[in-house]
Amino acid sequence: MIVAMQEKASEEQIDAVIEAMAEAGVNVHRTTGAAQTILAAVGSTANLDLSKFEVLPGVLHVHRISAPYKLAGRAFRPEGTVVEFANGAKIGGKQVAIIAGPCAIENREQIFKIAESVKGAGGQFLRGGAFKPRSSPYSFQGLGIPGLEMMYEAAQANGLATVTEVMEISQIEPMLPFTDCFQVGARNMQNFNLLRELGQVRKPVLLKRGIAATIEELLLSSEYIMSGGNYDVILCERGIRTYETATRNTMDIAAIPVVKKLSHLPIAADPSHGTGWRDMVPALAKAAVAAGADAILVEIHPNADKAASDAAQTMYLDQFEKLVGELRVIAQAVGRSL
């Protein structure tokens, strides 16, 4: 932490800041310039609330100079994390993983058809929602645990692992038998109680970036899970909210190399939510693989136009199968497999 004092700061003000820093448990180094004094705290400052110092009299600015996360930082595991699943699939290694499925599990026939398509295309993960957080209280809300059972059966029959969204602590327990990977949705990225509980679970967590979250906040949220002992976290870029309305969200493809630089955690990309439009998904899926994504997550449905939710961004099965073939070529072009 660096505290830059105002040019007109008095010696008393400077002393008060030094004292406050010492109280907070850091060592203070003072640089007295012709015009301005600078105080540097070189110790561990990850736990400090910087704004506390920023409001002290005579202070101009406070700058953080070390990242506020530890376990999620690249330095913690320079070689990178590879998350392994029961079915042998991995996320974070050389192979780019494919995670696909319907926004909502609707019935047995639907989910089995989809599972076969995922397997046929060469994917490893079946994803479907059983509890649907919809912005209108009048929309379809999901099948619940019976839906998950169906999906798990369909996944088992096709050698796939299941990924599904958990929305609150009380769901974790009943979901456990049918879930190979818990997804935390964008709206829950900062539901810290939920994250903490998932830190106690011994199953991987796919953590989606909040719609207005910075990459740093995404890493801090992963830290919540990891600080509980669960290091199997996969981050996921799924578009952020901007002023542009041509797409549902603005997919921040740069988040992929930024995460690779700052963290050891694998990073997935969800071009379905990222764009909101089926015909935009292929371009963005390819872009994500080219930029280094470790997994691609897409919404698919045998009768996409009639999907119970998110119809517009859901691909038909033949479109999906064609896309995976195209992604395979891109993966090879960047030195990976799929």
Residues 157-196 close enough to bind a second copy by CB under 8 A: 167-170, 187-188, 190-194, 196
Residue selected from 15, 25, 46, 146 as contacting a second copy according to rule CB under 8 A: 46
Contacts of range 281-284, beta carbons closer than 8 Å, 24 or more positions apart: 281/313, 281/315, 281/323, 282/319, 282/323, 282/326, 284/251, 284/253
Total binding residues toward a second copy, as defined by CB under 8 A? 111
Residue 93 Cβ, how far from a second copy at the closest point, in Å? Answer: 18
d(CA 162, CA 206): 11
Of 246, 248, 254, 299, nearest to 274 by C-alpha is 248
For a second copy, the closer CB: 18 or 291: 291
As measured in angstroms, the least distance from the Cβ of 321 to a second copy is: 18
Output the smallest distance, CB 313 to a second copy, in A: 8
Q: Can you tell me which of 85, 112, 224, 320 binds a second copy, judged by CB under 8 A?
A: 224
Q: Rounded to whole angstroms, how far apart are CA atoms 283 and 277?
A: 11
201 binds a second copy (CB under 8 A): no
What DSSP character marks residue 245? -
Nearer to a second copy, 85 or 231 (CB): 231
What letter represents residue 267's amino acid? I
In the complex, what is the shortest distance from the CB of residue 51 to a second copy, in angstroms, rounded to a whole number? Answer: 3
Instruction: Please state, in angstroms and rounded to a whole number, the distance separating the CA atoms of residues 292 and 104.
Output: 28
Decide if residue 243 touches a second copy (CB under 8 A): yes
Integer Cα distance of 132 and 267 in angstroms: 24
Q: What is the DSSP letter of 24?
A: T
Touching a second copy, residues 276-295 (CB under 8 A): 276-280, 283-284, 286-292
How buried is residue 147: exposed, middle or buried, by Cβ count under 10 Å (0-12/13-18/19+)? buried
86 forms part of the interface with a second copy (CB under 8 A): no
Phi, psi of 90 (to 5 degrees): -135, 150
Site for a second copy in 97-156 (CB under 8 A): 133-139
| Per-residue x/- track, 53-82, a second copy (CB under 8 A) | -xxx---xx-x-xx-xx-----x-------
Shortest gap between Cβ of 243 and a second copy (angstroms)?
5
Residue from 117, 162, 179, 221 in contact with a second copy (CB under 8 A): 221
CB of 12 to a second copy, least distance (A): 15
